[in-house]
């Protein structure tokens, strides 16, 4: 591609220097620049990419995209907003890959990963080669790729979609985080369906208020839909949770056709007769394409919602309800979500990714439905993340557990002891007696203690890190897997 051509994707952009040069790639990280790349300078949250332009040039960058003219001798495209420019340019550079696939995006505080897994399974089972992008991994065509976050930035995203398209992927289901929406990471991605799971407290360090958080999620729905929506191949759908009050706002801001799911009479796809056991969850579902009974292997009422969201998205893609049922019933569970650790011990050990107040409350309510003995909960809260959720999570853990082991999650750059104290403040507010909880900074030790104190029929819930195979302390990632640590602790019990 010529630099001029790249510049012409934006109306308001000024090119200085020779635009008639060939460019071979786009890059936002100076450390990864290859000869022939255009380096896009992004003003970041921690550093300013403009300060790394010279380093990018040394590594072979042939042009820059910047928000101000830099004192460097190479062609530059000066733009108003380089994040916006990146999204537009990446889409153009890779030939608008999202328009060659059915794009299904899932947003919401909890349930995104689970819902995307369910949709991916249904689509693949129906013979539609489907790619997946989200917290645990990206995967398509039998290959998996590690992820450093939930939603990749625009450049990485378009590059991945292009590779998916080149490998025959026809549908891509991806998680769309509120950070991604706020930062425009999915701008330029042509979604056909936007699914909303729920909105509850999280990320207030970043979005400041629940209203701002809702507005960020709203961007997803506001950008969906166009005047050709009545034409069959152009249809856009907003799949909304009828039981979450934020949905009425999303319905207002979208031009797409709204289809709802939930437990109430008014939902277009509704579940009833829900029954939850330690082995699974069953329910009856009525839809705009028939009714059936579904027996999930996954436990928890919240998974009924995730299944309903997936069923709705599947029906909108034209899948048959019978086939959807078969696919959903064959899913054993999602990595690190209500995952049992079984080493033959006489009590249950469950690892779950609940890291928000709502997630923790839901999983604890589920555990209480089948726990015959005591519930012992091990959990912590991530550092450099929403501090205000810590005391609330402490209160919820105490409300639904017989004993709480407060420990570290990923402390990142915060002092782990202080994070534990923030959680303990919630326990104090609710006057939880000292004998019902313990603070142990070391997560391994906390898990070991919890397992040692378990009696037959108790349930030990280890929440917050789910599938994660690391613990981030400071800036270092250490090997750590709750499931492995729990197994070792169980095996060490008799010694
Ligand atoms: C707050 C936030 O979202 N930050 C993201 C943002 O980082 P940033 O703005 O701080 O970037 P920066 O480090 O200041 O760098 C600015 C620019 O300088 C460049 N640079 C930097 C150093 C250098 O030597 N050379 C160089 O070129 C960088 O490549 C970048 O282009 O852009 C980076 C690159 O795209 C992201 O990796 C980073 O995510 C950080 C790691 C993060 O923790 N994000 C979390 C909060 C997040 O986004 N989470 C959501 C999930 C939430 C949920 O599950 O609900 C997600 O979608 O992952
Ligand atoms: N629909 C739901 N409503 C409330 N809680 C849920 C729901 N689905 C899952 N959970 C809880 O939230 C945890 C995380 O689920 P999941 O990974 O599917 O969510 P996510 O939205 O992808 O999270 P993240 O923001 O980290 O990407 C689960 O382990 C479970 O405890
Ligand atoms: N996507 C979420 C995951 C949190 C997982 C928890 N283990 C933590 O580190 O806080 C976030 O980045 O806020
Ligand atoms: Mg996720």
pLDDT tens figures, 111-148: 999 999 999 999 999 999 999 999 999 999 999 999 99
Find the mean pLDDT for residues 227-244.
Answer: 77
Find the mean pLDDT for residues 157-175.
Answer: 97
Position 225 pLDDT exceeds 80: no
Q: What is residue 363's predicted lDDT score, i.e. its pLDDT?
A: 96
Find where tokens 């999620």 sit: 217
User: In the structure, how many helices (H) and strands (E) does the chain have?
Assistant: 16, 24
Structure ipTM over 0.85, yes or no? yes
Find the mean pLDDT for residues 179-203.
Answer: 92
The preferred substitution site among 105, 107, 111 for testing ligand 2, maximizing ligand atoms within 8 Å of CB, is 111
State which ligand 1 atom lies nearest to the alpha carbon of 180.
57
Considering the entire predicted model, what is its pTM?
0.94
pLDDT in tens, 290-340: 999 999 999 999 999 999 999 999 999 999 999 999 999 999 999 999 999
* Residue nearest atom 40 in ligand 1 by C-alpha distance: 149
Question: How many CB atoms lie under 10 A from the CB of residue 370?
Answer: 13
Q: For residues 100 and 190, is the Cβ–Cβ distance under 8 A?
A: no
Find where tokens 């990018």 sit: 56
Position 211 pLDDT exceeds 80: yes
Q: What is residue 277's predicted lDDT score, i.e. its pLDDT?
A: 84
Q: What is residue 250's predicted lDDT score, i.e. its pLDDT?
A: 96
Question: How many CB atoms lie under 10 A from the CB of residue 217?
Answer: 24
How many Å lie between the centroid of ligand 4 and the Cα of residue 231?
Answer: 32
Alpha helices (runs of H) in 111-226, residue ranges in sequence order: 112-125, 154-166, 178-182, 204-207, 210-222
Cα–Cα distance list, 129 to 192, 224, 236 (Å): 16, 24, 20
Position 67 pLDDT exceeds 50: yes
Position 471 pLDDT exceeds 80: yes
Q: What is residue 206's predicted lDDT score, i.e. its pLDDT?
A: 84
Find the mean pLDDT for residues 439-463.
Answer: 98
User: Kind and range of the H or E element at 463?
Assistant: strand 459-463
- For the chain, what is the mean pLDDT? 95
State which ligand 2 atom lies nearest to the alpha carbon of 353.
29
Find the mean pLDDT for residues 85-93.
Answer: 95
Q: What is residue 233's predicted lDDT score, i.e. its pLDDT?
A: 62
Position 229 pLDDT exceeds 60: no
Candidates 377, 279, 271; CA nearest to 325 is 271
Ligand 1 neighbourhood includes 47 CB (under 6 angstroms): yes
Q: What is residue 350's predicted lDDT score, i.e. its pLDDT?
A: 97
Q: What is residue 341's predicted lDDT score, i.e. its pLDDT?
A: 96
Ligand 2 neighbourhood includes 302 CB (under 6 angstroms): yes
Q: What is residue 227's predicted lDDT score, i.e. its pLDDT?
A: 47
* Residue nearest atom 13 in ligand 2 by C-alpha distance: 354
Determine the Cα–Cα distance for residues 142 and 27; give it in Å rounded to an integer.
Answer: 27
Reduce the DSSP state of residue 20 to 3 states and report it: coil
8-17, 221-230, 246-255: least confident range: 221-230
**Residue 386, both tokens:** 């929403």
Cα–Cα distance list, 342 to 87, 348, 470, 491, 492 (Å): 46, 7, 21, 11, 14
**Residue 427, both tokens:** 């326990």
Q: What is residue 279's predicted lDDT score, i.e. its pLDDT?
A: 85
Q: What is residue 228's predicted lDDT score, i.e. its pLDDT?
A: 46
How many Å lie between the centroid of ligand 4 and the Cα of residue 32?
Answer: 27
How many Å lie between the centroid of ligand 3 and the Cα of residue 464?
Answer: 8
């Amino acid at each position: 591609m010529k630099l001029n051509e790249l510049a012409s994707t934006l109306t308001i952009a000024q090119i200085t220097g020779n635009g008639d040069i060939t460019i071979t790639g786009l890059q936002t990280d100076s450390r990864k620049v290859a000869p022939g790349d255009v380096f896009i300078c992004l003003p970041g949250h921690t550093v300013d990419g403009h300060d790394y332009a010279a380093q990018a040039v040394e590594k072979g960058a042939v042009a820059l995209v910047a928000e101000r003219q830099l004192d460097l001798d190479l062609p530059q495209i000066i733009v108003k907003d380089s994040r916006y420019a990146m999204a537009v340019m990446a889409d153009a550079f890779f030939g608008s890959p999202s328009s060659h696939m059915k794009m299904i995006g899932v947003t919401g505080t909890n349930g995104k990963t689970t819902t995307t897994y369910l949709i991916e399974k249904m689509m693949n089972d129906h013979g539609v080669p489907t790619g997946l992008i989200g917290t645990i991994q990206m995967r398509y065509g039998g290959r998996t790729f590690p992820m450093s976050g939930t939603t990749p930035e625009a450049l990485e995203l378009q590059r991945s979609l292009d590779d998916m398209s080149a490998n025959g992927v026809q549908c891509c289901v991806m998680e769309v985080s509120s950070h991604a929406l706020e930062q425009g990471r999915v701008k330029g991605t042509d979604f056909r369906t936007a699914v909303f799971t729920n909105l509850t407290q999280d990320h207030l360090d970043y979005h400041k208020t629940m209203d701002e958080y809702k507005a960020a999620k709203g961007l997803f729905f506001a950008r969906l839909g166009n005047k050709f929506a009545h034409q069959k191949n152009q249809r856009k759908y907003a799949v909304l949770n009828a039981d979450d009050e934020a949905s009425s706002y999303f319905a207002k801001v979208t031009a797409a056709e709204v289809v709802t799911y939930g437990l109430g009479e008014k939902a277009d796809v509704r579940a009833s007769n829900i029954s939850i056991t330690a082995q699974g969850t069953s329910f009856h579902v009525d839809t705009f394409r028939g009714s059936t009974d579904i027996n999930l292997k996954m436990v928890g009422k919240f998974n009924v919602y995730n299944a309903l969201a997936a069923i709705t998205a599947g029906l909108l893609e034209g899948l048959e309800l019978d086939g959807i049922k078969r696919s959903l019933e064959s899913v054993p569970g999602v990595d690190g979500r209500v995952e049992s650790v079984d080493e033959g011990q006489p009590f249950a050990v469950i690892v779950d990714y609940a890291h928000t107040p709502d997630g923790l409350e839901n999983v604890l309510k589920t555990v209480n439905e089948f726990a015959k003995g005591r519930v012992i909960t091990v959990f912590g809260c991530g550092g450099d993340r929403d501090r205000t959720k810590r005391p609330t999570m402490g209160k919820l853990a105490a409300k639904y557990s017989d004993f709480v082991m407060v420990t570290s999650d990923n402390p990142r750059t915060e002092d782990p002891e202080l994070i534990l104290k923030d959680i303990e403040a919630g326990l104090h507010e609710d006057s939880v007696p000292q004998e019902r909880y313990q603070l142990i900074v070391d997560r391994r030790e906390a898990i070991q203690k919890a397992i040692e104190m378990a009696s037959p029929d108790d349930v030990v819930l280890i929440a917050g890190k789910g599938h994660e195979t690391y613990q981030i302390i400071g800036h270092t990632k250490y090997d750590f897997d709750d499931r492995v640590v729990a197994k070792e602790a169980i095996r060490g019990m008799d010694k």
